[in-house]
Structure 1
């Protein structure tokens, strides 16, 4: 064996590697974490994750395509399955499989995943902390919630700013309670399915929202980046978002997130062009195709893909490169387990125009315990050190996974019922398994 071959720390013989199985374990958290494992004939395995609040079936539907394939051919496999995914959680299966394949390849060749993306631009990745809306949404409660994130070392903090929370009367939004023919009783997410259908903010609502942001800015000072989310997506028109956004401009927000319906790219551009505050969007957009119009028309100031929907590590790197060519930086949305989180860290390390990566598990006491390989002070200063271990750099703590399963006793059970090819699925080698 040559000197070069000796230098490669391989855990298996890549040319003979084959996928033999895929299994999942669904962890119950703030959102369910469907964690997947791709096994091979040589004992090495890869870990991935379906998008938070997604379903194991989103990944299992591709199993018949994967079995028998060489996992090192990750781009060929990705191209074969990506056509069957879609926006939002429907992209979670394709993305989770890509992450598992990249983890597996890193282990095979003994290199961290960021190296498979072309190397790194930084040794530490900056986090931004999600801050859920307080139960009692007074300005003081918002301040305490954000200060709690700052006490954990975070220097970039996001908090939810739902307009309906800032009105003490019975009608926080003008026209919000008016019934119409599509007002099905499907819960809070679908009560007003037609974005901007005559709903307007009251002046008092806007004043209250601006007061909250003002108080938060005073509390954390100018050394901390702050941004807002959940203030109108789905029921406010672009013009109403602009009214609110102009009232928030004095407080130097890092961004306003997802201002209008995810499908309304012209609406994003209308808001972005009207405001000095940057607009970030993209957590539910799937693949480069899903970002192309927004990037090329400069409808957003920051692309904000979720790795577990946008297509995994390589596709998200391509999206960020496309955006950078138009002068648009990238932030990463992440609401998953430590598996999806570490996939984001590796990708962030390889993005030249990167801003910050979300951490959505800060309030889960068991979050860190789901894996081994995270240092106790992994985010002490608001940054995460990029791992140098092969693959994602973490492994599963099976005891913690078992203790937090959605359904006890279901950890990585056999999935043989998914071995049979599904009609219309094309295998990368253009044949069906024997």
Structure 2
């Protein structure tokens, strides 16, 4: 890992992008290494336009690329009142073009699941995309490529009555598409839920109609917050168990998973596909302050779920990917994707864009090239920038990268609005 960065300003973007504006009201700073260590990018290869507000959408929960456009899931206008406060489901589905311009929007309210205000997992399907409840249920819904609801509802596991005390009810889900279907990691618990409840974790592959393609494999008897990555017949599940990060790795053709702890110190592991042939990695959130690094951590792993570290290194806290983001990493959920032979990460930090400037929210786009070295030693390109006027993000910002062959759209959502930033990467 390079230990120092030279910072330079003056990235002035003259391009005018249809639907995304242009200009230079947003300040930016490109980062590159000042050392001669191998694997360093000598100039900024990431460029951004000024953000453009997307319709009146607010409270974005998730988004994905569907063909040549984007589908965004955001806050519905419908709500229920809990403890005197309105709670909204994330069931407004909107279509954006590949520049981030709003094309259409449909507010499904509570029609997808009566009274359900929990989150959903969005995954591509052959004819559009699917959504599966990610909390308190496993209801599967189908949508075409234009975000129109198709067909009926499928419960991937039997529903359990709220009054039952003998049946295991689904609590949390994480999913990932792989070939002819999708893997779903699901925690189950007996009701009622208390502070002493134990959650078992099962992993099962379903086809897109909801039929089981494998039996539900039991992989933990005490698990929280499951997530899954899958590609080329390899599957990686991650979860928290006893305050530490755990992985279950199925290599292609293996008869059983390898399960191991990765000792992330209580931080949530995020499995990540690195290559289409099944190479995997894992990211997690470490502690970071204004004066010490941490933030986004990450390692490649082998077919047995073992982190690939530099010779003689065993401490995963040395594997920071955000040592040069210059600030206290803010985002609680990491947005990362395999992209053109590397990893594209979007995040934010609270700090100063340049020395002597006010503290504010700094947005970060970071590319890490995949090679034979540990992720923390990989070639990297980092662009730090602020919103026009150094505007702050809302209290619960959500960042999503929509990656196309020749450009990307960074979606920045909070409680007040959704903004789109057209970005290009020189890869």
- Whether the TM-score (by the shorter chain) exceeds 0.5 is no
Q: Which of the pair is proportionally richer in helix?
A: 1
Point out which structure has higher relative CO (alpha carbons under 8 A, 6+ apart). Answer: 1
Superposition TM-score, scaled by structure 1 size: 0.28
* Bigger Rg, structure 1 or 2: 1
Q: Which of the pair is proportionally richer in strand?
A: 2
